[in-house]
Amino acid sequence: MRIVIDARCRPGVMSGLARYARNLVGELGRLDSQNEYFFIRNSGFGGRLAQRENFTEVQTNYDIATLRHCLFGHWLIERLRPDVYHSLFHFLPCRLRCQRILLTLHDFIWYRSPWLAFRDPVRAGAVFGFARMFMPRALRLADQIIAVSSAVEKEAANRFPELAGRIRVIWHGVNPIFRFDPKGGGGYVLAVGNSKPYKNFGRLIRAFALVANESPWLRMIVAGRADYRASLEMAAREAGVDGRIEFTGSVPDATLVNLLRCAEFLAFPSLEEGFGLPIAEALTVGCPVLTSNRPPMSDVAGDAAVLVDPRSVISIAEGMRRLLTETQLRGQLIQRGSERSRLFSVRNCAEETLALYGSAHTSVRLERQRLP
């Protein structure tokens, strides 16, 4: 089977999409030595994603979420003659013709609430128009759709009833370097992610300010790419905690593992997510979690986290106080997180995805056999 996986994303940015691509492709490389793979990726990324002879990387200079790809990207893909083409993001070339097309659907933020991703109203409007034009086309063109959570699957089915029967939920897998080794005691709250509005860091900073008055030893570390760092630094100054919050920018996974292990807890009160990979990573290493009481965050965390109302600063602050003062609760959450982390195996993610490739290819052969 000849499989083309489109792993393109913004060069130089370790986004959630980039980490999903790296984890999935790396595990497929360890798992499958039989099928022939081609990985399309941006030329801006260094290092191979998989070290096997049956894996070939094809580099290009534009990513999936561009007008160029949606209008003309089929030329590159069709030259690779795939039996199965899998786009790791929810856009496809409009004129793409392949035997079988798979697509990973992450969320509907661009399609429904672009202002949660971009503060600039002009850019938000442009993204909204782009998503409204090309996301429905891609979803209808795909033979199979991988939804990264049940919440995404439900919204897709509600918005596009004709997709019924074509959507399969496959959760993200956690990089194997995230292993259970709880430590705590680092004296800081950890927040992870880009600083776009849907991450809700503004309310988190105000909640931290309320708790910080009661815990003068406590700091907060914000790790992730700094899309709107200046506005968050201003929010910290206005709340009077600018000297107690550190913005690290993006960090490699090895550093993130250590930050999670030593943190008092992970604070992840997002307004929107497709999945919420930092929650799964925190549970895996044994870091207590505070997150939103809405799907998919609550689905990923289950009973292994303190759930709060993400639109209430008071609710977030109360959750933080519980994790700082209730020792028994922390121990229970760490134990539950260890048990729940089995759901986030990158091997399971890769095996389920590979099985979907196989079923898609088999369906092509069966259709050919039925032709007169």
Domain chopping of the chain, boundaries: 2-173+346-370, 188-343
Length of the chain as a residue count = 372
State the pLDDT confidence band at 369, using cuts at 50, 70 and 90: very low
Query: How do the residues of the chain divide into helix, strand and coil, expressed in percent and rounded to 5?
Result: 50, 15, 35
pLDDT in tens, 132-161: 999 999 999 999 999 999 999 999 999 999
The Cα–Cα gap between 102 and 143 comes to: 6
Quick one: fold of 188-343?
A: Rossmann fold (3.40.50)
* CB 310, CB 270: distance < 8 Å: yes
Q: Spell out the residues 6+ positions from residue 338 whose beta carbon is closer than 8 angstroms to its own.
A: 180, 283, 286
Same CATH topology for 2-173+346-370 and 188-343: the answer is yes
Q: Determine the Cα angle at 84 with ends 82 and 85, to 5°.
A: 80
Q: DSSP string covering 316-337, please?
A: HHHHHHHHHH-HHHHHHHHHHH
- Both tokens assigned to 36: 């022939």
Q: DSSP string covering 221-239, please?
A: EEES--TTHHHHHHHHHHH
Nearest to 89 by CA among 109, 103, 70, 110: 103
Kind of pairing between the strands at 100-105 and 219-223: unpaired
Nearest to 280 by CA among 338, 348, 321: 338
Share of the chain above pLDDT 90, in %: 73
Q: What is the pLDDT of residue 365?
A: 43
State the pLDDT confidence band at 42, using cuts at 50, 70 and 90: confident
The Cα–Cα gap between 109 and 117 comes to: 7
Whole-structure pTM value: 0.92
Identity at 94, one-letter amino acid code: C
- Asked if residue 296 has a cis previous peptide bond (ω within 30° of 0), the answer is yes
The CATH number that domain 2-173+346-370 falls under is 3.40.50.2000
pLDDT in tens, 205-255: 999 999 998 999 999 999 988 778 888 889 999 999 999 999 998 888 899
Q: What is the pLDDT of residue 370?
A: 39
Q: What is the pLDDT of residue 363?
A: 64
Burial call 72-96: b when 16+ CB within 10 Å, e when fewer: ebbebbbeeebbbbbbbbbbbbbeb
